[in-house]
Amino acid sequence: MVTHIGLVGLGKMGNNMRSRLRKGGIEVTGYDPRPEVTDVPSLADLAAALPQEKRVVWVMVPAGEPTRGVLAELREILTEGDIVIEGGNSHYVEDQERAAEFAEKGVGYLDVGVSGGVWGLENGYGLMVGGSAADVEAVMPVFDALRPEGPREEGFVHAGGVGAGHYAKMVHNGIEYGLMQAYAEGYELLAAKSDLIDDVHGTVQAWSRGTVVRSWLLDLMVKALADDPKLAMLDDWVDDSGEGRWTVDEGIDLAVPLPVISAALFARFASRQEQSPAMKAVAALRQQFGGHAVKKAD
């Protein structure tokens, strides 16, 4: 059983995870290019510092090129019997390609979707894992230290073979898009009825217990409204992280209708447009056929 791992990437997420792991009795050797946070000067040193019979390296760097770069280096360093864990937000198909490459060298590969944000340090992280049963079993003490307290199955799942962890995390994030948009539409309906609803924050807060819509996201909305009851300090610009896009792409591939998740994604796209070319086109059509009022661009 593994009780000492290497952890690559000590940013906001990785740093908190190192703290929680250590508190949970797991030895962690961390590596990060920034000297002020790293435990060792290089990936090679990281590998050297681990118990040699089965080295386990957890990669926690941004998806895309950064993850690809670290994995390519590790492929040179790790050897038969070791395990690499991709804990970032890679696309599950890329996991399957990477895992095949590591398998050529006899190195195991686990993909882990990690949920919990900045709250995970305290609450524990929800974990969704893909890979072989033997690899999962070997790393279980690490997962147990990271996940929330309580029954294992309420904060951890071995969802299937390689890719299943990030597939599950992708779907989790897609759901999250839909949930957030549903709360947001409800908030707007309350705020728009200011002649009747005297207390928007209080109304949302009253949903915290006993109601059907109570949730952790609702609690966060209550906190946000407590600080800024009209959200006056925020712009309506909303980024998207990529996983919402993958979720809708997957729905298209599988012919699964996703009206709600796609609507939430499109709302984010629209939030970032200074001007909507599509709505200019609608305005143009209305002007052409009916002489309807339009607004000239400034």
Catalytic annotation, residues: 169, 176
- Region of 218 please: left (phi>0), alpha (psi -120 to 50) or beta: alpha
Q: What residues between 277 and 296 interact with its own copies by CB under 8 A?
A: 277-296
Q: Which of 21, 84, 85, 264 binds its own copies (CB under 8 A)?
A: 264
Cβ proximity of 159 and 165 under 8 Å: yes
Q: If residue 243 lies in a helix (H) or strand (E), which one and from where to where? A: helix 243-254
| 145 part of the interface to its own copies, by CB under 8 A | no
Q: In sequence order, which residues have a C-beta less than 8 Å from that of residue 287 and are 6 or more positions away?
A: 294
Q: What residues between 3 and 42 interact with its own copies by CB under 8 A?
A: 12
Rounded-to-integer distance, Cα 30 and Cα 24, Å: 16
Closer by beta carbon to its own copies, 134 or else 282: 282
Q: Least distance to its own copies from the beta carbon of 44, Å?
A: 32
SS (HEC) of 245-293: HHHHHHHHHHCCCCHHHHHHHHHHHHHCCCCCHHHHHHHHHHHHHHCCC
Q: Which of 43, 110, 145, 157 binds its own copies (CB under 8 A)?
A: 157
Per CB under 8 A, the segment of 47-55, 69-77, 134-142, 236-244 that binds its own copies is 236-244
- Other CB atoms closer than 10 Å to residue 38's CB: what's the count? 17
Tell me the per-residue interface mask from 53 to 92 with its own copies, x by CB under 8 A, - otherwise. Answer: ---------------------------------------x
Per CB under 8 A, the segment of 32-40, 48-56, 59-67, 178-186 that binds its own copies is 178-186
Side-chain half-sphere exposure of 14, counting CA atoms within 13 A? 28
| 260 part of the interface to its own copies, by CB under 8 A | yes
| 203 part of the interface to its own copies, by CB under 8 A | yes
Residue that is written with structure tokens 């190195």 in the block: 107
Q: If residue 129 lies in a helix (H) or strand (E), which one and from where to where? A: strand 126-130
Q: Least distance to its own copies from the beta carbon of 135, Å?
A: 15
Q: What residues between 85 and 144 interact with its own copies by CB under 8 A?
A: 92, 115-120, 123-128, 130
Cβ proximity of 2 and 145 under 8 Å: no
Closer by beta carbon to its own copies, 78 or else 248: 248
Closer by beta carbon to its own copies, 41 or else 117: 117
